[in-house]
Amino acid sequence: MSPTYQCSIRLLFLQYVSAFSALGLLSMIIGIGTDLVCISRIRRLIGRFPDRIGTKIFTPAELMAGQNRPDPAAALAGRFAAKEAVLKALGTGWSGGARFIEIEITTGPDRRPILLLHGKTAQIARARGIEWWHISIAHEGDMALAVAVGESMVH
């Protein structure tokens, strides 16, 4: 490939990037997180610390959504894994100021998981430039898996 042809391709690419960015159609991944949780571990946690579950880990809405599922522990394990994945995508882990209770996983009308951030955790996400999230939760056997992707528009 000739240097002139390479330069033309680069210029064309930069023009497309600039146009998509100006239209607000270009996004950038800021963080990706994933987590895998044993459902039986969450089942034991619910049995041992029922009060702590509702004040430190899950919101009332998450607990109610879990109770409406055939296997509440599996539903909560998926949400637990999603919360862990969000912490990893934020880059904070448990010690970086984000709080589990401030990460809320709800279910949209199309049954997709929706992430709501509250308090300091929402501030951390905004400071990192994350404008929207994609959450995916899966279950297989005794495992729950979640992936969280935080994105921002390229300005």
C-alpha span between 132 and 8 (Å, rounded): 34
Give phi and psi for 59, each to the nearest 5. Answer: -80, 165
C-alpha span between 14 and 27 (Å, rounded): 15
From 97, 99, 47, select the one nearest 76 (Cα to Cα): 47
Is the separation of the CB atoms in 78 and 139 below 8 Å?
A: yes
Catalytic residues: 88, 139
Tokens 């999603």 label which residue?
Answer: 82
| Neighbour-count burial of 99, counting CB atoms closer than 10 A to its CB (0-12 exposed, 13-18 middle, 19+ buried) | middle
Is the separation of the CB atoms in 142 and 40 below 8 Å?
A: yes
